Amino acid sequence: MKRSSVFALILIAGLAAGSILFFPAPVRAAEKAVTVKGEIVDLACYLDHGAKGEKHKACALTCLKNGEPMGLLTSEGTVYLLLAPHDDHKAFEEAKGYAAEQVEVTGPPAERAGIKALVVNTVRKV
């Protein structure tokens, strides 16, 4: 093999490796939907002072209506940040009305930097 061909191959390999390091593929939520059961909580009050349940329902409804982040608290104590799908917010908006109630949320999960999230494709009161 000629010296110029070897140099070209090394250059191409280096550029390919560099593009992977500097321009990694985007991390996407899992394609497969899961169903998770739990209580809808407003994360501002839940994380600040542990507010949840029926006693906190009126406040949670107000907080969620005002744009506070929404979560799903499972019976095991896991909290999922609930996310609206990019194309249809209907189920996400419906979930806000179930503050302090038990629901099943179905959608693709995602996780980054220790934060668990769930895209709300469907929500159903249980």
pLDDT in tens, 72-110: 999 999 999 999 999 999 999 999 999 999 999 999 999
pLDDT tens per residue, range 3-22: 544 444 454 544 444 444 44
pLDDT tens per residue, range 41-55: 999 999 999 999 999
pLDDT above 50 for 23: no
Q: Is the dihedral of CA 58, 72, 94, 90 positive or negative?
A: positive
- Determine the Cα–Cα distance for residues 27 and 35; give it in Å rounded to an integer: 21
Residues 6+ apart with CB under 8 A from 59: 42, 45, 51
Longest CA pairwise span in the chain (Å): 79
Cβ atoms of 72 and 41 closer than 8 Å: yes
SS3 label, residue 22: helix
Domains, the chain, ordered by start: 34-125 (2.40.50)
Question: 76: how many CB neighbours lie within 10 A of its CB?
Answer: 6
pLDDT above 80 for 28: no
pTM: 0.76
